[in-house]
Amino acid sequence: MKTFGWLLKREYWEHRGGFLWAQVWTAGIVLLLIASAVIVGEVLQDKMHATVTVGVSLSALSTSLSQEQMSVVSTALDTSLLSLSLFPQIVLFFVTFFYLLGALYDDRKDRSVLFWKSLPISDIGTVASKLFTAAITAPLMAFAITILMQLAFLLILSVFMLLHNVNPMTLIWHAASPLTVWTKMLVLLPISALWALPSYGWLLLCSSFARSRPIAWAILPLMLLGWAITFSGLLQNFALPSSWYLRNVFMRLLLSIVPASWLWSENGFDKSAIGQVIDGTSAVSGSHETLVLQWNWIFSALSRPDMWIGVAAGVAMLAAAVYFRRRRIESLN
């Protein structure tokens, strides 16, 4: 257990550039853009005597709001908080994808595997530490950055409100429900990790297996198989649509790390679900649903057979990754 803690620390030392600093930089740039947009807006507004709306027009905000209007503001705020979290999630996807491909390959390439193997560390422990880092450590760091980013965003908004003589305490901090948003993101984390298990397994397996270019091993065989299946018309024999392979094999193995991707893999792109997650306006104009990311979407993943088939496949590929980790040390010659 103590050893495992040190293994996690090692992963952090090696990859803090991707897991931490890339996130910090992205968050900083996004916040800077938002702040400058607010400032530009202010200047233009002064020049053009335009009106500003935050779901409801700003002049209306200075007077008291009806229950109805308040709920619109609420939803708009929660939606923008959730949209903000997309930026760390996008960074997280790319960083995790390449982290996993290099995790069991890079140290064989630079021969430092010989140093790690000279210490009492089991191969299963090594693979487990890489999996834990991708599935838990990195998303938790992205989550922490997201919280800070959202708080900074609400702060920028509050300053903006103050400039317009609106009390940000009632309008922003009361209306927004960051705690709900954060709870949902936190609950989403282990479910996303379970859903992504086939991707973790496949990428780690390629990383462990490849003697060179793990990324080619990860993508090319799947593409070749895809073409073979399409041209042979194999799927039609089983009365499956031609997109079946793409959705259930190709995407699951390569892109399950994409956050909440089960939402759009159910029936192709589930526009109603993903649309509301990405584009808050539909939620606003629609049912005034305060819960932007609904609980039933989150838990829908757990009742799907393809979730658990994926978990089983992921575990099998992780076992194979451990097997190759034990054998492949070709650098020593």
Partner 1 sequence: MNAVIQARDLSKRYGTTVALDHVDLTIEPGRIIGLIGPNGAGKTTALKAILGLSEFDGELSVLGLDPRQQRFQLMHDVCFIADVAVLPRWLRVGEAIDFVEGIHPRFSRAKCEAFLARTKLKPTMRVRELSKGMIVQLHLALVMSIDAKLLVLDEPTLGLDILYRKEFYQSLLNDYFDAEKTIIITTHQVEEIEHILTDLIFIRDGKIVLNTTMEALGERYTEVMVNADKADAARALKPLDERQIFGKSVFLFDGVDRAQLATLGEVHTPNIADLFVATMKGAYA
Site residues for partner 1, window 23-82 (CB under 8 A)? Answer: none
Q: Which is nearer to partner 1, 10 or 174 (CB)?
A: 10
**Cα 49–Cα 52–Cα 54 angle in degrees, nearest 5:** 175
Site residues for partner 1, window 307-326 (CB under 8 A)? Answer: 326
Q: Which is nearer to partner 1, 48 or 332 (CB)?
A: 332
Interface region with partner 1, contact rule CB under 8 A, candidates 1-9, 147-155, 175-183, 233-241: 1-9
Binding string, residues 80-109; x marks residues near partner 1 by CB under 8 A: ---------------------------x--
Interface region with partner 1, contact rule CB under 8 A, candidates 4-12, 160-168, 235-243, 304-312: 4-12
Element spanning 56, H or E: strand 56-57
Residues 139 and 189 sit within 8 Å (Cβ to Cβ) = yes
Residues 110 and 227 sit within 8 Å (Cβ to Cβ) = no
Residue with tokens 């890489």: 130
Q: Does 114 engage in binding with partner 1 (CB under 8 A)?
A: yes
Q: Does 14 engage in binding with partner 1 (CB under 8 A)?
A: yes
| CA atoms of 233 and 151, how far apart (whole Å) | 52
Please give, one letter per residue, the 3-state secondary structure of 13-63: HHHHHHHHHHHHHHHHHHHHHHHHHHHHHHHHHHHHCCCCEECEEHHHHHC
Q: Does 2 engage in binding with partner 1 (CB under 8 A)?
A: yes
Binding site for partner 1 (CB under 8 A): 2-3, 5-6, 9-10, 13-14, 107, 110-115, 117-123, 125, 326-327, 329, 332-333
